[in-house]
Amino acid sequence: MTATVPLVFLTACSPLKVLSVLSPSRHYAPELDLHYGSDERQRLDVYLPSPVPETAPLVVFFYGGSWTNGDKADYEFVAASLTEAGIVVVIPNYRLYPAVRFPAFVEDGADAVAWSLANISSYCVDPSSVYVMGHSAGAHIAAMLAMNGDYLASHDIETDALGGFIGLSGPYDFPVSYTHLTLPTITSGCSSRWGRYHLMGGGGGGGGGGGG
């Protein structure tokens, strides 16, 4: 009975917060709320494996949320898993719609990657092993950084500086001439819901849209 009491209180939390609370944290050391830009949303968290290896790969992880919501603090469980494997993890916040429009999300991603590359010597990172990773809308950001050289080029960085791209359930191709798409969502049981996906683009740079 005693062992289940903490879980009772966690039922009021979001699933992401529950994952983070239950993730082990003894094997990493966090550095939180580091600025990579002047906006309040342009902050990132760095998670270092403990003990820090002599050289480690680095993953910059972008979370999803339809480009409209999300917070880096909710994804500590991602860092917990990766640092356990000896990986340095950077999780940035980025500006959100409607305060900004595409491609501002990706530009923030480029700023965060540029910050990470500029600071790798402080974290014993192998410069040939820097990866961008994302889930859903964050996978779109990571893909754009890996595939479209314009974003990192604004920092005089070539995409070859990245060791690779890891995408999880990402939206990668949008017909940007449309103002909206109405698509069926996942069917659960006998019921089906329909979702409206808005393309929040300002034009150019290759598709912004309604991922999760």
Q: What pLDDT was estimated at residue 15?
A: 57
Q: What pLDDT was estimated at residue 204?
A: 37
Q: What pLDDT was estimated at residue 203?
A: 37
Q: What pLDDT was estimated at residue 1?
A: 41
- Is residue 145 a contact partner of residue 151, using CB atoms and an 8 Å limit? yes
pLDDT tens, position by position, 153-185:
999 999 999 999 999 999 887 665 544 444 434
- In angstroms, the Cα distances linking 58 to 40, 84, 173, 184 are 24, 13, 27, 37
The percentage of the chain sitting over the pLDDT mark of 70, rounded to a whole number, equals 69
Burial of residue 156 (number of CB atoms within 10 Å: 0-12, 13-18, 19+): exposed
Q: What pLDDT was estimated at residue 172?
A: 84
pTM over 0.85: no
| Average pLDDT for 56-84 | 96
